[in-house]
Amino acid sequence: MSLATRRPAKTCAVIGAGPVGLAAAAHLLERGITPIVLEAGPGAGAAIGQWGHVRLFSPWRFDIDSAARRLLEEAGWTEPDADGLPTGAELIGRYLEPLSAALDDHVRYGTRVTGVARLGADKTHSLGREGRAYLLRTVNEAGEWSDVIADAVIDASGVWGRANPLGANGLPAAGETADAPWQVGPLPDVLGRDRERFAGKRTLVVGAGHSAANTLLLLAELAEAEPGTEITWAIRGRSAAKVYGGGSADALPARGTIGTRLKALVESGAVELVTGFTIDAFTTAADGSVAVNGQTGSLAVRLEVDSIAAATGFRPDLELLRELRLDLDATVEAPVKLAPLIDPNFHSCGTVPAHGEADLAHPDEGFYIAGVKSYGRAPTFLLVTGYEQVRSIAAALAGDREAADRVELELPETGVCSSSRALDATSIADSSEGSGCCGASAEAPADSGCGTGCGTAVEESVAVGARGLATGVLQGRAGERVELPQLSKGCCG
């Protein structure tokens, strides 16, 4: 039984109360479908609250869903200035919390979904599988479990908290643990609650997306006020050009400014850039600092720092979906029809074509992954893309095929990203360096980068800042000492 012939859904469970999850609930309500929103955190946008100090580069006009706006207006809500740039905390306070209140008891907090299955059938059960409802196993804050039954499911739980490792090959490097004393997360509050951790200290930022760029900009501002604050930036790619972006060519000025400011900091020497860098191992010292051992081309490099901000991107948690029949692309772990539209080897956040329910469907009809989690490991997600996804899904679940297929998506022009294969000389080296992309989402920071590390497998000399090195020399593969060449503050030496 396909969704096209199945009776319209009466209930739909939505996993996650971020922007996309709450937007899904608003669209479902408009379609006469009862939403059941299940959120693990204590409030709306709980993941966003962890980076609430970060200002989005997308203005309010791109941050508010159409159905959510209609529901809020009925409650007397005053919409923020369309051209304003909210912080994560403002996105929660001025939009998500009022939207959650408008949805009232359709939202359940402190309710973590640990598994999803077809009611009365495990993954191997085929006879009579189609048309079955879904069972969602949940656990509350007290550790008590209960089941939720619904006709359909939208997983908008995102990817926050599932960071890619710092090590090469997609695996953690030797000595890399999530609770290491030098780990500070992808978006620390450098000028706020975490200030003392960075002031007068040595910080390494790893990653080639906007999360890395934002942290670097904040560290540079701190360094102006706090002598001794040292900043090293490491990327796997050979060039930082994609991070610098298109500057004034970007239709979102705040996004273009990020790259422009970062480039100036690198060229001035305020930020030391290490390109073509892969990490092999970490050695944690007794005082909590760390020695980072890695390679740039054919040369071994050792960096000694106090903290590391790992802005290396995220990957989806698929464990809770093990009992469902999914059709996921082997490369980016997105729905197989969506994957070629978002593959970061060919697309950026500004070049992803319109897509909707038909591109998100799985063999288990009535189940969807939406929002940034639907993009798997691809860092090309935009919040407005997620809003369009759930609008189309809600229409399909209500039996309105025409509306589901009428996908409309208008994206701002971007000078930051490009899908041109003419960029092969600085093409994507490892998609794990992206993290989210180019707009707000509940699950990945709004400032997460649409670019990944750029580079090739060619071994060559790279620019390495002396401040980031333990001894001021490169250590060759055979252990010989190699004096540093004349330093360059730009990318690629």
pLDDT in tens, 182-191: 999 999 999 9
Please give the C-alpha separations between residue 323 and each of 65, 121, 143, 151, 337, in angstroms, as whole numbers.
31, 9, 22, 16, 21
Rg (CA), the chain: 23
- Chain-wide mean pLDDT for the chain? 82
What six digits make up the tokens of 479? 């252990």
CB neighbourhood size of 483 (10 A): 7
The mean-pLDDT minimum among 89-93, 132-136, 192-196, 431-435 falls in: 431-435
Most confident of 206-210, 251-255, 432-436: 206-210
More confident residue, 169 or 481: 169
- Burial tier of 95 (Cβ tally within 10 Å: 0-12, 13-18, 19+): buried
The answer to whether the Cα torsion of 224, 227, 228, 229 is positive or negative is negative
Q: For 249-266, how does the pLDDT look when each residue is reduced to its tens digit (9 = 90+)? A: 555 555 667 888 999 999
- In the predicted model, is pLDDT for residue 60 greater than 50? yes
* Domains of the chain and CATH, by start: 11-161+314-405 (3.50.50.60), 168-312+463-483 (3.50.50.60)
**Predicted structure pTM score:** 0.80
The answer to whether the Cα torsion of 48, 52, 54, 58 is positive or negative is positive
* Dihedral class, residue 269 (left if φ above 0, else alpha if ψ from -120 to 50, else beta): left
pLDDT for position 244: 83
pLDDT for position 165: 95
- Residue 345's pLDDT band, with cuts at 50, 70 and 90, is confident
- In the predicted model, is pLDDT for residue 114 greater than 80? yes
- In the predicted model, is pLDDT for residue 451 greater than 50? no
